[in-house]
């Protein structure tokens, strides 16, 4: 009887050990699969992004890095201006609308405004830029208003050479223009009958280079790296477009950058937006001329 009970106990111990071993093996395999899934299969699907050309370079860089980590996600980034991005996401044509201003300022169908969520992903400074032949290094807000309203038409009136001022503006759909009007022009109306209009930051850059006496405004993300000396940047009231001056409220021409979604972002869209705002991506944000959210909050 004792021998029989001993055999049963040993058998039970063997079975328990075997089951415990299987449990560990399954758990390890499960953990291994989870890790792989998190790296490669947590997010999948297609994301289309459109809108602000100021935010476009950052969105493109983030998309490339995100797709390397999650190859089952396909992301396409387009420009078109903040107004285009906001209204396309409201219509359900894209998943993310890039904008330099809150969506309520660009939505055409006001009934849909409540459906949109403005996800702040970065900050950005904008700069007044001029052709290399312009011999002015700083303008006051009043002088900027006078130039873009058409009141001042020659550089000699603001301390420069005797040369015609050629204004290059942005279209009404542009978030960069909306920021320019809100932070610098304020209650003074831009005179659209003077100068020319370019529909993107890149087009402005080329127009400034080729037009004597030209002045316009671009996102600082277009003035970093190899392009740092491509255009002459003007100070505003003596202040340069730096993070320090923005924090000290000395430099007014800046805004948050938004990735607008229809409803709260979910799945791959949420994962992508979280990645853009993450500390992991913050160094790249700064390198590309933007301001990480951690430095503005």
pLDDT at residue 228, rounded to an integer: 63
Q: What predicted TM-score, i.e. pTM, was given to this entire model?
A: 0.78
CATH of domain 125-254: 3.40.190.10
CA gap 103, 94 in Å, rounded: 14
CA gap 83, 52 in Å, rounded: 8
> Which tokens in the block code for residue 161?
């050479």
pLDDT by residue for the chain (297 residues), tens only, comes to: 434 443 444 444 433 443 333 333 333 333 334 344 444 448 999 999 999 999 999 999 999 999 999 999 999 999 999 999 999 999 999 999 999 999 999 999 999 999 999 999 999 999 999 999 999 999 999 999 999 999 999 999 999 999 999 999 999 888 899 999 999 999 999 999 999 999 888 899 999 999 999 999 998 988 887 666 778 999 999 999 998 999 899 999 999 999 999 999 999 999 999 999 999 999 999 999 999 998 987
**How far is the CA of 64 from the CAs of 7, 19, 74, 82, in angstroms?**
63, 45, 9, 21
CB 51 within 8 A of CB 200: no
DSSP 174: -
pLDDT at residue 226, rounded to an integer: 66
Going through the chain in order, the beta strands assigned E by DSSP cover 45-51, 73-80, 96-99, 116-130, 138-139, 166-169, 196-197, 214-219, 232-236, 254-262, 290-291
Cβ-count burial of 249 within 10 angstroms (0-12 exposed, 13-18 middle, 19+ buried)?
exposed
Q: b or e along 167-204 (b: 16 or more beta carbons within 10 Å of the residue's beta carbon)?
A: bbbbeebbbbbbbbbebbbeebebeeeebebbebbbbb
CA gap 76, 49 in Å, rounded: 6
Taking every pair of Cα atoms in the chain, the longest distance, rounded to a whole number of angstroms, is 117
CA gap 73, 65 in Å, rounded: 11
CA gap 51, 72 in Å, rounded: 24
Question: Are the folds of 45-123+255-295 and 125-254 the same?
Answer: yes
3-state secondary structure of 92: coil
DSSP codes, 128-160: EEE-TT----EE-HHHHHHHHHTS--BGGGGTS
Residues 6+ apart with CB under 8 A from 62: 272, 275, 276, 281, 284
3-state secondary structure of 50: strand
Residues 6+ apart with CB under 8 A from 8: none
CATH superfamily membership of 45-123+255-295: Periplasmic binding protein-like II (3.40.190.10)
- Domain boundaries, given as residue ranges, for the chain: 45-123+255-295, 125-254
pLDDT at residue 277, rounded to an integer: 96
3-state secondary structure of 284: helix
């Amino acid at each position: 009887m004792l021998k029989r009970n001993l055999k049963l106990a040993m058998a039970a111990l063997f079975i328990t050990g075997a089951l415990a071993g299987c449990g560990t093996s399954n758990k390890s395999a499960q953990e291994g699969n989870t890790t792989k899934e998190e790296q490669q299969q947590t997010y999948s699907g297609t994301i289309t992004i459109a809108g602000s050309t100021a935010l476009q370079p950052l969105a493109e860089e983030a998309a490339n890095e995100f797709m390397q980590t999650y190859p089952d996600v396909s992301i396409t980034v387009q420009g078109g201006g903040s107004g285009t991005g906001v209204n396309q996401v409201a219509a359900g044509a894209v998943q993310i609308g890039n904008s330099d201003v809150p969506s309520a300022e660009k939505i055409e169908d006001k009934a849909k405004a409540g459906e949109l969520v403005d996800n702040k992903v970065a900050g950005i400074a904008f700069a007044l830029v001029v052709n290399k032949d312009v011999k002015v290094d700083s303008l006051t807000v009043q002088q900027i208003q006078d130039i873009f309203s058409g009141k001042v038409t020659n550089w000699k009136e603001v301390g420069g050479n005797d040369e015609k001022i050629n204004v290059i503006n942005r279209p009404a759909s542009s978030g960069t223009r909306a920021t320019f009007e809100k932070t610098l022009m304020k209650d003074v109306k831009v005179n659209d009958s003077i100068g020319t209009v370019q529909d993107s930051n890149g087009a402005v850059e080329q127009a400034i280079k080729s037009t004597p006496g030209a002045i316009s405004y671009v996102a600082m993300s277009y003035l970093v790296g190899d392009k740092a000396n491509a255009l002459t940047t003007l100070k505003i009231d003596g202040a340069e477009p730096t993070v320090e001056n923005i924090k000290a409220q000395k430099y007014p021409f800046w805004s948050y950058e938004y990735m607008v979604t229809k409803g709260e972002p979910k799945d791959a869209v949420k994962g992508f937006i979280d990645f853009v705002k993450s500390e992991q991506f913050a160094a790249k944000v700064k390198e590309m001329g933007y301001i990480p959210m951690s430095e503005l909050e």
